[in-house]
Amino acid sequence: MEILEGRIPVLAALLAKRRLFETVLVRQGTQDETIRPILDAAAVLNVPVRHVRPEALEARAHGKSHGGILAIASPLPAPAAPEKVDFALLLDGVDDARNLGFTLRSAEAFGVQAVWLRKRAWDFDGGDVSRSSSGAYERLPVFLGETLPSGLRLVGCVAGVRKTLYDEDFARPVALAIGGEKRGLSAAIRERCASLVSIPTVEGAATLSLTHAAAVAMAEVVRQRRLR
The bridge status of strand 142-144 relative to strand 114-118 is parallel
Sign of CA dihedral 28, 31, 34, 35: positive
Q: In the chain, what are the domains?
A: 2-73 (3.30.1330.30), 87-227 (3.40.1280.10)
Q: Which residues of 74-86 are buried (b: 16+ CB within 10 A; e: fewer)?
A: eebeeeeeeeebb
Cβ(198)–Cβ(161) below 8 Å: yes
* Confidence label for 110 from pLDDT (cuts 50, 70 and 90): very high
Q: Read off the pLDDT of each residue in 81-99 and give the average, rounded to a whole number.
A: 91
What totals of helices (H) and strands (E) does the chain contain, helices first? 8, 10
State pLDDT tens for residues 54-64: 888 887 877 66
- Kindly list the distances between the CA atom of residue 103 and the CA atoms of 71, 130, 135, 213, in Å, as whole numbers in the listed order: 23, 11, 12, 9
* Confidence label for 108 from pLDDT (cuts 50, 70 and 90): very high
State pLDDT tens for residues 111-128: 999 999 998 778 899 999
Selected residue with higher pLDDT from 95 and 156: 156
pTM of the model: 0.92
